[in-house]
Amino acid sequence: MSFLRHVGKIGDRKVAIVFREVPNEPHMALVTYTESLNRHLHDPMMQCIESDIGQNSKNLADALNRTHTKDGKYILQVLHTEGLLKKVQTETVIVTPNGTTKIRLDELNKILTEMENGEDAVKRLAEINSSTAVESAEVAKKMRGDKPRVTDAPQGVLGDNVIANNLRSQAARMEIEAKGLLAESLRLQKEAAEMDGFVNPSTTSTSTPAKKRGRPAKATVTA
């Protein structure tokens, strides 16, 4: 792949950038050192990064929270529970989307923020350094992406909050679907009962005998 988001280096160590910014601490980021991961975690995580879901996610955490390890666990949860998420200063992370482009994460975050706010980041960068402005702006555009995000960025940083919020959203959707299925089930049961000739006593007058569809009512015999 010629251009790859969410990857970089700290010194000579490769990292995956899980959160570009920590909420309320924009100078900090959450990363994981990819070379220290076991293969059962490393391989599916890299596949996630390279996938459309990974490349279209604002934060890699969004995609990792939907992707499983080889043993069926959510990657983001495993990174958190095993202490593999590291909080680092954004200025120490060098984003390396390809073999020739490099930009500090704190600088990239500023450009992306300005783009989101509708400011002319390319012009500002050109005033600072015309030789690197265009390249940095192009990196920012690609890192931002033109396609809509797959999911909203989680409100929490660590796995406990991230996973809890996602589970609540999934539970809410499942509850809505369950209510819809229950309503449909009741409707079908009612329709079946009417076809069998059953009428709910609570909705039928005692003076009117129940009738089966397509059959005459039986005469009442009195003493």
Instruction: State the pLDDT at residue 41.
Output: 92
The answer to the question of residue 36 being in a domain is: yes
Query: What is the rounded CA–CA span in Å between residue 84 and residue 105?
Result: 20
- Helices vs. strands in the chain: H and E counts, helices first: 8, 6
Phi, psi dihedrals of residue 88, rounded to the nearest 5°? -135, 160
Per DSSP, the three-state class of 220 is coil
Q: Which two tokens stand for residue 82?
A: 């095993």
Residue 191 in this model has a pLDDT that exceeds 90? no
Residue 156 in this model has a pLDDT that exceeds 50? no
Asked if 163 contacts 76 with a C-beta cutoff of 8 angstroms, the reply is yes
pTM score above 0.75: no
Q: Which two tokens stand for residue 56?
A: 């279209």
Residue 204 in this model has a pLDDT that exceeds 60? no
The answer to the question of residue 98 being in a domain is: yes
Start-to-end CA span in the chain (Å): 92
The answer to the question of residue 78 being in a domain is: yes
Asked if 64 contacts 48 with a C-beta cutoff of 8 angstroms, the reply is yes
What domain range is 22 assigned to?
Answer: 7-170
Residue 98 in this model has a pLDDT that exceeds 70? yes
The answer to the question of residue 220 being in a domain is: no
Asked if 106 contacts 90 with a C-beta cutoff of 8 angstroms, the reply is yes
User: Which of the pair, 101 or 93, is modelled with greater confidence?
Assistant: 93
pLDDT band at 97 (very low <50, low <70, confident <90, very high): confident
Query: What is the rounded CA–CA span in Å between residue 82 and residue 69?
Result: 13
Strands (E), 81-219: 86-89, 94-95, 103-104
Residue 162 one-letter amino acid:
V
User: Could you give the number of structural domains in the chain?
Assistant: 1
The answer to the question of residue 179 being in a domain is: no
Residue 152 in this model has a pLDDT that exceeds 50? no
The overall average pLDDT reported for the chain is 76
Instruction: State the pLDDT at residue 19.
Output: 95
Chain mean position to CA 61: 8
The answer to the question of residue 186 being in a domain is: no
Strands (E), 11-63: 13-19, 28-33
The answer to the question of residue 193 being in a domain is: no
The answer to the question of residue 214 being in a domain is: no
> Average of pLDDT values for 126-133?
52
pLDDT band at 144 (very low <50, low <70, confident <90, very high): low
